[in-house]
Amino acid sequence: MSGGPAVRISIESSCEKQVQEVGLDGLETYVPPLSMSQNLAKLAQRIDFSQGSDSEENGVDSEPRDGEWGKQEPEEEEDTVKFQPSLWPWDSVRNNLRSSLTEMCVLYDVLSVVKEKKYMALDPVSQDPTAGKTPQVFQLMSKKKSLATAAQLLLKGAEKLSKSVAENQENRRQRDFNTELLRLRSQWKLRKVGDKILGDLSYRSAGSLFPHHGTFEVIKNTDIDLDKKIPEDYCPLDVQIPSDLEGSAYIKVSIQKQSPDIGDLGTVNLFRRPQKNKPGTPWHIKLEAAQNVLLCKEIFAQLSREAVQIKSQIPHIVVKNQIISQPFPGLQLSISLCHCTGDKKINRSSPEKPKPDDHLYVLEHNLHQMIREFHKQQLSSVVMPHPASAPFGHKRLRLAGPMAYDKAEISSLQQSEGLLEKIIKQAKHIFLRSRTARTIDCLASRIEDPQIQAHWSNINDVYESSVKVLITSHGYEQICKSIQLQLNIGVEQIRVVHRDGRAITLSHQEQELQDFLLSQMSQHQVHAVQQLAKVMGWHVLSFSNHVGLGPVESIGNASAITVASPNGEYAISVRNGPESGCKVLVQFPRSQVKDLPKSDVIQDTKWSHLRGPHKEVQWSRMEGRNFVYKMELLMAALTPCP
Amino acid sequence: MEAPPVTVMPVTGGTINMMEYLLQGSVLDLALESLLHRLRGLCDNMEPETFTDHELVYLLKGQQGNPFILRARRALSHPNAPWHLRYLGQPEVGDKNRYALVRNCVDVAASHSLPEFLNEMGFRMDHEFVTSGHIFRKGAMKVVVCNVSRVQLPGNTENTERMSNSHLVELSVLAPAGQDTVSEDMRSFAEQLKPLIHLEKIDPSKQRH
């Protein structure tokens, strides 16, 4: 041991003090040692006073007595000192001893009497309730007193608790506001300006160029009365939207036939059921409504700007909240912005009769869609230039110089159709389509023979839709399939494509389509005869879609066909015009004609096979439900039985 | 007799009379990430784009006076994009009220045969460099953060060497002459980048050694 280095042992007193806490840096904080008085207090705390609680009654009883004794004694002493000053100093002690002796004697007497059992016996007696009257009063009073203290303590505690609960609620409301704000922040753009929180309603970040600032303010709505019941839809966060974006709005697009006098045009009041924005509406509904109002305003502003700028034959009219345009003569397209702020009482509109719902929902929807496309276009048109030093701008326009674009190519780059032009084109198309459908339906219901069928395609372009029109005869659909028309309805005109590829372009005039269909129907009849002749074994002698003879038709041309019976004896000629109707002639063989004037030239019997004169068939008196059926009957009648 | 040299007068008049308002600064590569982060937050909501450009500076020496300088630039990352030919006029520092440097600027998009064309015209290439970095946009303002690399072999853009360990930051706006309000916008934007980078108007004529 002596050889090695001295080992240093550090001795530390064991930790007598209690460790209060260990800091994050490992520092131990000790509980300071108790002082003498604290130690005493601590020990005193350990004494269980409740153990002596059963003696409480006695204690309480004895205490006032002691007090009485204590009080009486000095009084007596004073008295004796006052009135008997000559008495010796142990007088009171003597008196007390004397009285105690008397009592002891009495007690002895009583005990001896009891013990002898001759005169009286001691029996346990039920305790008289009145006997303990005095202690009970004390008990009651003391109980009352201690209860009062306890109640006071409890009340104090309750007060504290209610205070802290209220504070908690306040805190929670505060926290609710923050969580609501967080939710708001995740969906809307917010920024802090001074001590206000402002949000952005506008579509500017989505590419809108509408100059409305579209700012809303976030309001903390925590100062509600705590006593009242909190309404269920209470939200600590409220938003203040600009007054011009309040309420609800929509764009109404409609097409009317006759144009009312321009003088009558006022602000269109189209709200039949004004939606009320209650103050308790959640903020997201409010914000969405306000944003919708903003979008509608933007659409309308864009449309009215274009309406003023675009030069058209019939100028577009912008009056107050309405844009009026004439897509076709006698037709009026009106686009109006309906904005209801909700505050105003709409009394004027209520007595009016509810107008028919002439909304063109498709166009209204398309307007919204187009403005969003416009936004997107705005966003996507700004691309970063490459190389980086080049100016911002249209990428394709930058190519114009190096690629040597000509004027047409450059103008095609720049040309962009406005919202109004697009919507007018769509309106024109929608109108043309519905009018075409009506024309076809009218004809189909008016004319039973031949039948007309229209097959509309379900999927359309906004500017083009197509319908397939079949003209058939009832019962002969399989053989009479000659007329199949494809009507491509565009914006300004209808293009008709025949089955054989011929194409005709009709204007938007209703009459043109009607006349065309009528002439097609008349041609159909003759085509049907031709088909029928094939089936029946008759020979077609001549056929013409456009006959140059006979009365002139006002629409189209008459068509005609001549067919001969299988053995060539009979011939039927049919002439059918769209207006003049059909005329059917039958030619008989010469041999069957009795009253044929004798001719000098044809005397040989072989000439008797020549066909004779024509006779007209009274077509309306023919039996049969339609033209082709009648014709079939006629052919059958003229075909000799084998 | 030799044809008179090309006029060295700046092009003026018409729609091409545009001025470039410019603020410049530089940031060390260490602080680049935080600057880009800040710019991403401040600039328009577009994906920030990177670029790699090759710039050739051409000189046309007249008989007297300063040579006429043209800058031809092409995007290495977009080989099909047109070349960019740029004329930059003398920078005007102006008074203290105008916050940005202003210089005349003519931008022309050109086809890929631009170098040959300039050579034919008598221009000679003075120097070339490759620059790559990030480009941001806020409204009309363009923010370019780029490093500059020296081209070691003429015409070979693969073999380059960084000039420094810092990035050049340029804030520029193209505007018609006399629109000094844009410099106010640039000032407020530059203020927002303040702790990261100090954008100032740097007069290149005073930087010459």
- Looking up tokens 């011939």 gives A571
Average pLDDT over residues A592-620: 74
CB burial of B41-60 (b: ≥16 within 10 Å; e: otherwise) equals eebeeeebbebbbbbbbbbb
B69 contacts B59 by C-beta, under 8 angstroms: yes
- Which pair of structure tokens corresponds to residue A9? 């042992």
Q: What is the largest CA-CA distance in chain B?
A: 61
**Does A76 have pLDDT greater than 50?**
no
The C-alpha atoms of residue A245 and residue A341 are separated, in whole angstroms, by: 8
Measured in whole angstroms, how far is the alpha carbon of residue A420 from the centre of its chain?
27
pLDDT at B9: 53
Report pLDDT digits (tens) over A441-494.
999 999 888 889 899 998 888 899 999 999 988 888 888 777 889 999 999 899
Smallest Cα distance from A186 to chain B, Å: 16
Average pLDDT of the segment spanning A305-321: 84
Does A403 lie at the interface with B, CB-CB under 8 angstroms?
A: yes
Q: What is the mean pLDDT of residues A218-244?
A: 72
CB distance A390–B109 less than 8 Å? yes
Asked if the C-beta of A380 comes within 8 angstroms of chain B's C-beta atoms, the answer is no
Dist CA A600 CA B8 (whole Å) = 113
Beta bridge partners of A496: A487, A504
Q: Which two tokens stand for residue A566?
A: 């299988």
Q: What fold characterizes domain B21-203? A: Hypothetical Protein Pfu-838710-001 (2.40.320)
The answer on pLDDT for A385 being more than 80 is: yes
A384 to B110: CB separation less than 8 angstroms, yes or no? no
Between chains, do A389 and B71 touch, taking CB under 8 Å as contact?
A: yes
Q: Is B168 on the interface with A (CB under 8 A)?
A: no
Would the pLDDT of A309 be above 70? yes
The pLDDT assigned to A60 comes to: 43
Q: Which residue has the higher pLDDT, A348 or A358?
A: A358
Q: Among the ranges A57-71, A84-98, B47-61, which has the highest mean pLDDT value?
A: B47-61
Q: How many CA atoms lie within 13 A of A483 on its CB side?
A: 27
The reported pLDDT for the residue numbered B3 is: 46
Rounded Cα–Cα distance for residues A619 and A631 (Å): 9
What is the residue-level pLDDT of chain B in tens, covering all 209 positions? 444 445 555 555 445 678 889 999 999 999 999 999 889 888 876 777 899 999 999 998 877 778 889 999 999 988 888 999 999 888 887 777 778 888 888 888 899 999 999 999 999 999 999 999 999 988 889 999 999 999 988 888 888 899 899 999 999 998 887 777 888 889 989 998 888 899 888 877 666 55
User: Does pLDDT of A160 surpass 80?
Assistant: yes
B192 contact residues in A (CB cutoff 8 A): none
| Lowest pLDDT segment from A146-155, A308-317, A421-430 | A308-317
Closest CA to A260 of A314, A327, A330: A330
The answer to whether B57 faces chain A, any CB pair under 8 Å, is no
Question: Is A392's Cβ below 8 Å from some Cβ in B?
Answer: yes
CA proximity to B85, closest of B115, B120, B125, B61: B115
- State mean pLDDT over A276-297: 79
For residues A503 and A496, is the Cβ–Cβ distance under 8 A?
A: yes
Q: How confident is the model at residue A133, as a pLDDT?
A: 59
Domain boundaries, given as residue ranges, for chain B: 21-203
Angle between helices A56-83 and A133-187 (to 10 degrees): 130
CB contact under 8 A, A387 and B84: yes
Asked whether the beta carbons of residue A388 and residue B78 sit closer than 8 angstroms, the reply is no
Q: Which of the four pLDDT bands, split at 50, 70 and 90, describes residue A134?
A: low
Is the distance from CB of A468 to CB of A459 less than 8 angstroms?
no
CB B141 within 8 A of CB B189: yes
- ipTM for the assembly: 0.80
Q: Does B75 touch chain A (CB under 8 A)?
A: yes
Residues of B in contact with A402 (CB under 8 A): 82-83, 109-112
- Token pair, residue B152, equals 């070691």
Strands A559-564, A571-577: pairing is: antiparallel
The Cα–Cα gap between A435 and A494 comes to 11
Q: How many angstroms separate the CA of residue B99 from the nearest CA in chain A?
A: 21
Express each pLDDT in A79-88 by its tens digit: 444 455 556 7
Distance from CA of A387 to the nearest CA of B (A): 4
- Residue A489 is predicted with a pLDDT of 93
**Rounded CA separation A233/A214 (Å):** 26
Give the pLDDT score at A445: 92
Average pLDDT, chain A: 79
Average pLDDT over residues A31-47: 81
Helix (H) or strand (E) holding A541: strand A539-544
Q: What is the helix, strand, coil percentage profile of chain B, to 5?
A: 20, 45, 40
Q: What is the mean pLDDT of residues A615-636?
A: 89
Q: What size, in residues, is chain B?
A: 209
Secondary structure of A322-361 in HEC code, one letter for each residue: EEEECCCCCCEEEEEEEEECCCCCCCCCCCCCCCCCCCCH
Q: Which long-range contacts does A608-616 make (Cβ < 8 Å, 24+ apart)?
A: A611/A569, A611/A570, A611/A571, A611/A587, A612/A587, A612/A588, A613/A587, A613/A588, A614/A573, A614/A585, A614/A586, A614/A587, A615/A585, A615/A586, A615/A587, A615/A588, A616/A583, A616/A584, A616/A585, A616/A586
Instruction: Write out chain B residues lying below 8 Å of A390, CB-based.
Output: 73, 84, 107, 109
User: In angstroms, how far apart are the furthest CA atoms of chain A?
Assistant: 207
B51 with A388: Cβ contact below 8 A? yes
Q: Are A346 and A274 in contact (CB under 8 A)?
A: yes
pLDDT of residue B48: 72
Tokens read off for A537: 């074994």
pLDDT of the residue at A225: 59
For position B120, what pLDDT does the model report?
93
Nearest residue, CB atoms, A389 vs list B45, B78, B84? B84
Alpha-carbon distance values, B15 to A52, A567, B149, B175, B181 (Å): 108, 89, 34, 11, 19
CB A490 within 8 A of CB A497: no
- The residue with tokens 């949000």 is A199
Residue of A200, A204, A378, A386 best to disrupt the B interface, most CBs of B under 10 A: A386
- What pLDDT is stored for residue A374 in this prediction? 87
What is the distance in angstroms between the Cα of B110 and the nearest Cα belonging to chain A?
5
